[in-house]
Amino acid sequence: MIFKRQSKALKSLSELELADRCKNRDPLAQREIYDRYASTMMMVCYRYARSKDEAEDFLQDGFIRVFDYLHQYKCNGSLEGWVRRVMVTTCINHTRTRHRELMSEGISDYHEQVYGDGFEDYTNKFEIKELLQMVSDLPEQYKTVFNLFVIDGYNHNEIAEMLQINVGTSKSNLSRARAILMKRITLKENYIHGSTK
């Protein structure tokens, strides 16, 4: 009963108040933070992981880091943004070792993508599940850079620093990821158009 009442009170707390309580390792506040952000962060982790199980491992490790380093949260931005950054860093740390050796392409491969008319209208029809699957099917090194740049909003300098690669490699990986995705989208479009004819 008391637990329920306290949980209810916690739900009304602002991010700052919740963070303050969490800094004192209050288990109820920790649970509340987990409840608020677990679903969003699970998706973040899933985009970097190879499977759902691996994503859950990343998520678990990420939240442990969040609770351990919450005292470093300076209330400058939103708590969610901070938690997301911690999650992304955790995922990168986990995946870095397994694809470091693959990220060695140079800037010479970089090229701008050209899109045809009505491309956006068409791709808007894709379901989230399909988009997720497309990203997930990308080679490991391209997937990470694509996730960081396109979805999580990091720039190439930050990505290069995080992945310990040079900026050129980051740009090249992004370009290749886009090319692959474009190819898959076009194939799908042809398949859909072909089947409707």
Partner 1 sequence: MDPLNNIFKKLSHETMRPSDGVWKEIYANQQKKRKKTIWYFGTSIVALLLIIGGLYTYINKEQPQAISTKISEPKEIKNETNTNTNLVVSNSIQSNEITPAGNIFSSINYIPNKQNSNTNTYPIEVLNTSTLEKNNSIKNIKNTKLENVNNIHENNSETKETIKEVEPVKTEQATSTPYDSVIIEKPIHNNSNKPLIIDTRKKKETSKRKTYIQPSLFLARTFRTLNTNNDSFDYYKKLRNASEISGNQLAFSLSYIVEYSKNLNIQYGIMYQTQKQSSSYTWQQVKTIVVIDSIRNRDVFDSATSTWITKTDSFTHNDKKYLPVIANGDVSFSYIKLPIIVNYEFSKKKITYYIGSGFSLNILTTSVGAIRNFDLQNEGDPIPVKDLRKSILGLDFITRFGARFQLKERFAFQIGLATGYSLSNAFTKNYPLVQHNYWYGIESGFRWTLK
- The answer to the question of residue 117 lying near partner 1 (CB under 8 A) is no
- The answer to the question of residue 3 lying near partner 1 (CB under 8 A) is no
The answer to whether 130 touches 122, Cβ cutoff 8 Å, is no
Closer residue to partner 1, CB minimum distance, 104 or 173: 173
Q: Residue 17 and residue 184: Cα distance in Å, rounded?
A: 46
- The answer to the question of residue 27 lying near partner 1 (CB under 8 A) is yes
DSSP-derived secondary structure for 23-85? HTT-HHHHHHHHHHHHHHHHHHHHHHSSSHHHHHHHHHHHHHHHHHHGGG--SSS-HHHHHHH
Q: Pick from 20, 56, 158, 189: which binds partner 1 (CB under 8 A)?
A: 56
Shortest separation between residue 141's beta carbon and partner 1, angstroms: 17
* Stretch touching partner 1 by CB under 8 A, among 1-9, 96-104, 119-127, 159-167: 119-127
Q: 143: which 2 tokens?
A: 């997937």
CA atoms within 13 A on the CB side of 188: 16
Question: CB atoms < 10 A from the CB of 95, how many?
Answer: 21
Question: How many residues of this chain bind partner 1 (CB under 8 A)?
Answer: 43
Residues from 136 through 165 that contact partner 1 (CB under 8 A): 146, 150-153
Query: Where does this chain bind partner 1 (CB under 8 A)?
Result: 16, 25, 27, 30-31, 34, 38-40, 42-43, 46-47, 55-56, 59-60, 63-64, 67-68, 74-76, 113, 115, 119-120, 123-124, 126, 128, 131-132, 135, 146, 150-153, 178, 181-182
